[in-house]
Amino acid sequence: MTHANTPLPDGLFADDTGCPRCTWCQATPLYRHYHDSEWGFPVADDRRLFEKICLEGFQSGLSWLTILNKREGFRAAFAHFDAEKIAAFGAADVERLVQDAAIVRHRGKIESTINNARRVLELRAEFGSLAHYVWRYEPTAADRPARLTREVARTLATSPASIAMSKDLKKRGWSFVGPTTVYAFMQAMGLVNDHLEGCHVREQAWQARAAFTPPLV
């Protein structure tokens, strides 16, 4: 906690209790809850990984808060991101989803989600799970900045690991998986910890990563 009159580093804000957080989550309680309990914590569940990479694709050109506010709508529309079920979607499902006001009604992104579900099944056949594939791209400590200030964070729209994963996914037929989208996915799923220095969640995310065993082949 910080005293109400104590100035915070650039990129942080404090709530009424003085708890410091990354500024980007300031807008709503839902956003702050997402920041505190999900963003930056490691994930090995295939369904959550697939959901996030799809939603990052839908976010392209929009804010994450817009997507977060519609997340339950996306889950209902896309069979709670069960890749096997989505892979069976056809033209009628695309037309249904284009009319669904609970999601972002972008035909290309809807079709991409169905395509990527089919590609997930191919990755599972090769690697055992989407998680096994994804965690191969976790950066080493040497590839990460020693201190993450807001100034440093502004330079982190992509990384060598996100560029490599994006390139490989595209080669495998995925869409809406550019390096920036993949890096945002890596931030959210705990492959990197981009909570700023001084954010009260940063150390919690590190502890979660230390207790986490990546599903490596």
Q: Which residues are catalytic?
A: 34, 56, 64
Burial bucket for residue 93 (CB in 10 Å: 0-12, 13-18, 19+): middle
* Length in residues, the chain: 217
d(CA 183, CA 210): 21
Residues 6+ apart with CB under 8 A from 199: 12, 20, 21, 22
CA dist 163 and 191 (Å) reads 14
Q: Return d(Cα 128, Cα 217) in angstroms, integer.
A: 8
DSSP, collapsed to helix, strand or coil, labels residue 110 as helix
